[in-house]
Amino acid sequence: MSASTKSKALFASLIALCLVIQACGGMDGLKPQLVSASSPSPSPPPQITPAINDGLFGMHIHRIDAGTPWPAARITTWRLWDAGVAWKDLEPASGVFNFSLLDQYVAVAQEHSTEILLTLGYTPQWASQRPQEPSDGGPGSSAPPSDIGSWDKFITALVTRYKGRIQAYEILNEPNLAKYFTGSVADQFVLLKHAYMIIKQIDPSATVLSPGYMGKGFLQLDQLLAMGGAQYIDVVAYHFYDFPAKPEAMDGFIKSVLNVLTSHQIDKPIWDTEIGYGPGQTFSGEDQQASYFVRTIMVHWNDKIERAYWYAWDNHGWARLWMTEPDSTTLTKAGTAYNVLYTWISNAQKGDCSISQSAAINSCSLVLADGKLAHILWMSTGQTSFALPPDWHATAVQDLKGINTPLGSTVPVTESPALVF
């Protein structure tokens, strides 16, 4: 082969390598990925498929139009609430629509291959049954509409405009709290039924969620299902807030919701459409904040909650666990941990998990791309030293900063989760 031919061949090989690196997401994309235990041995080139646990990395972003840059993280799905696109914002007068901000959000989401979950709530004052009633959303916004026809027309205009571009709709935000909704469960049922039928007629592929209850809202969920609400729900929405408390405590609320669904013989996906830590929750520092974020998501993963939407990327007022500094750009340790956890579990097949609030070690096993098991370990309280089982064949541990440390025969286990592999 001539020198010229060799040069051309080398150049072609380099181009091919660059394309592979780019397709895999840069050099980081060439790191081992976590896949299902049923995945074949890596003899043929692996197919690029969506991460199986992507839904656990949903987010609220409030001010993408007013200075917040797109997050330096993999935001797989974006819930729009407290973002200026409630019903009262989109239809400020009867038949007069203002979709400019929502258009912007939808365009940004498409640019970043991110799905949108739009929560439908806050009645415009002109459409309200009680237009002067106090509400967190402004006078009259917590009351049901005085005429269901106004709701129908709004849903029709909305879904017609965003067919195929908004993937999911949640009917009402925390309606068991008077500051968001002062109607009855029967009113919730009517709004849900009408919205579901209109959405499915216009955009059959769209996902319709139940009202996003919180706290003891499972009592209202029980009533809604008793009325036949399940036939108008693709996904059960809930907000598993539980603070001030340790992350493992929220398992109690999850079990309460599961018990309600079981009592009605309903087997539908559950999405936690708003989760985080608000007023009353205190932290010893950023390390504990990072720990609480990861442990919160691990509880969701263990309890088979398909999606979780963190509140919020750029909220530095109500929220007490921040993903970014006040500039809404610089990552906190929790923001870094978000990205690290994504590399751990986004494409992982979960094995056995043991999670509790006791002094025992919490652990979850997961299957790596090469078929080898890895384990995430942490304590709810305190710390200990754990003797590594020989059949784990573990050689390193990675912390929430993404730093690897070689292992001997034991590994320290603290309140900060670590990946042993």
On the question of pLDDT at 26 being above 50, the answer is no
49-56 mean pLDDT: 84
Residue 40: predicted pLDDT? 29
On the question of pLDDT at 321 being above 50, the answer is yes
Residue 98: predicted pLDDT? 98
Measured at the CA of 326, the angle between CA 325 and CA 331, to 5 degrees, comes to: 20
Residue 2 lies in a domain: no
Residue 45 lies in a domain: no
Residue 406 lies in a domain: yes
Going by C-alpha positions, the residue among 400, 288, 272, 388 that lies closest to residue 336 is: 400
Binning pLDDT at 50, 70 and 90, where does residue 368 land? confident
Burial string for 82-104 (b: 16+ CB within 10 Å, else e) reads bbbbbbbbbbeeeeeeebebbee
Mean pLDDT, the chain, as a whole number? 89
Binning pLDDT at 50, 70 and 90, where does residue 25 land? very low
Q: How long is the chain?
A: 421
User: In Å, how far from its chain's centre is CA 117?
Assistant: 10
Residues 340 and 406 in one domain: no
Residues 341 and 389 in one domain: no
Residue 2: predicted pLDDT? 39
* Backbone φ, ψ for residue 54 (5° rounding): -55, -35
On the question of pLDDT at 21 being above 90, the answer is no
Binning pLDDT at 50, 70 and 90, where does residue 65 land? confident
On the question of pLDDT at 5 being above 70, the answer is no
**Dihedral Cα 60, 65, 68, 71, nearest 10 deg:** 50
On the question of pLDDT at 3 being above 50, the answer is no
On the question of pLDDT at 113 being above 80, the answer is yes
Tell me the residue ranges of DSSP E strands in 39-114: 58-60, 77-80
Of 320, 349, 378, at which residue does a domain stop?
Answer: 349
Residue 369: predicted pLDDT? 65
Residue 38: predicted pLDDT? 28
Residues 318 and 215 in one domain: yes
Going by C-alpha positions, the residue among 262, 195, 268 that lies closest to residue 237 is: 268
Residue 185 lies in a domain: yes
Residue 285 lies in a domain: yes
Residue 358: predicted pLDDT? 87
Residue 248 lies in a domain: yes
Give the range of the structural domain holding residue 167, as residue numbers without chain letter: 54-349
* Backbone φ, ψ for residue 407 (5° rounding): -110, 150
* Backbone φ, ψ for residue 237 (5° rounding): -100, 145
pLDDT digits (tens, 9 = 90+) for 355-365: 999 889 999 99
Binning pLDDT at 50, 70 and 90, where does residue 50 land? low
Give the SS3 label for residue 406.
strand
Residues 164 and 255 in one domain: yes
Residue 308: predicted pLDDT? 98
Burial string for 52-75 (b: 16+ CB within 10 Å, else e) reads ebbbbbbbbbbebeeebeebebbb
pTM for this prediction: 0.87
Which two structure tokens, joined as six digits, stand for 294?
A: 């990861």
Residues 387 and 344 in one domain: no
Residue 31 lies in a domain: no
CATH of the domain at 331: 3.20.20.80
Question: Strand 77-80's sheet: what is its strand order?
Answer: 207-209, 168-171, 115-120, 77-80, 58-60, 307-310, 270-275, 236-239, 213-214
Q: Angle, to 10 degrees, between the axis of helix 185-202 and the axis of helix 148-162?
A: 30
Residues 287 and 366 in one domain: no
Of 306, 326, 349, at which residue does a domain stop?
Answer: 349
Contacts of 27 (CB under 8 A, 6+ apart): 21
DSSP tag of 168: E
Residue 359: predicted pLDDT? 81
Residue 16: predicted pLDDT? 36
Binning pLDDT at 50, 70 and 90, where does residue 371 land? confident
- How far apart are the C-alpha atoms of 97 and 91, rounded to whole Å? 4
Contacts of 43 (CB under 8 A, 6+ apart): none
The structural domain count of the chain equals 2
Residues 256 and 171 in one domain: yes
DSSP tag of 368: B
Residues 216 and 342 in one domain: yes
Residues 386 and 332 in one domain: no
50-56 mean pLDDT: 88
Residue 82: predicted pLDDT? 97
Q: What percent of the chain has pLDDT over 90?
A: 85
Residue 264: predicted pLDDT? 98
Residues 68 and 177 in one domain: yes
Residues 74 and 213 in one domain: yes
Binning pLDDT at 50, 70 and 90, where does residue 418 land? very high
- Note whether 320 and 310 are within 8 A (CB): no
Of the listed ranges 104-118, 229-243, 296-310, 370-384, the one predicted with least confidence: 370-384
Of 295, 316, 349, at which residue does a domain stop?
Answer: 349
25-36 mean pLDDT: 32
Which two structure tokens, joined as six digits, stand for 269?
A: 């996906």
Tell me how far CA of residue 22 lies from CA of 17, 28, 50, 52, 186, in angstroms. 9, 10, 16, 21, 53
Binning pLDDT at 50, 70 and 90, where does residue 148 land? very high
Which two structure tokens, joined as six digits, stand for 48?
A: 């690029």
Tell me how far CA of residue 172 lies from CA of 127, 142, 189, 232, 303, in angstroms. 16, 10, 11, 14, 24
Residues 97 and 147 in one domain: yes
- How far apart are the C-alpha atoms of 190 and 194, rounded to whole Å? 6
Residue with tokens 């979709």: 99
Of the listed ranges 17-21, 49-53, 200-204, 393-397, the one predicted with least confidence: 17-21
On the question of pLDDT at 332 being above 90, the answer is yes
Query: Ramachandran region of residue 14, left (φ > 0), alpha (ψ -120 to 50) or beta?
Result: alpha
On the question of pLDDT at 54 being above 70, the answer is yes
Residue 338 lies in a domain: yes
23-46 mean pLDDT: 31
Q: What percent of the chain has pLDDT over 70?
A: 88
DSSP letter for each residue of 212-266: BEEGGGHHHHHHHHHTTGGGG-SBEEEE----SS-GGGGHHHHHHHHHHHHHTT-
415-420 mean pLDDT: 98
Binning pLDDT at 50, 70 and 90, where does residue 30 land? very low
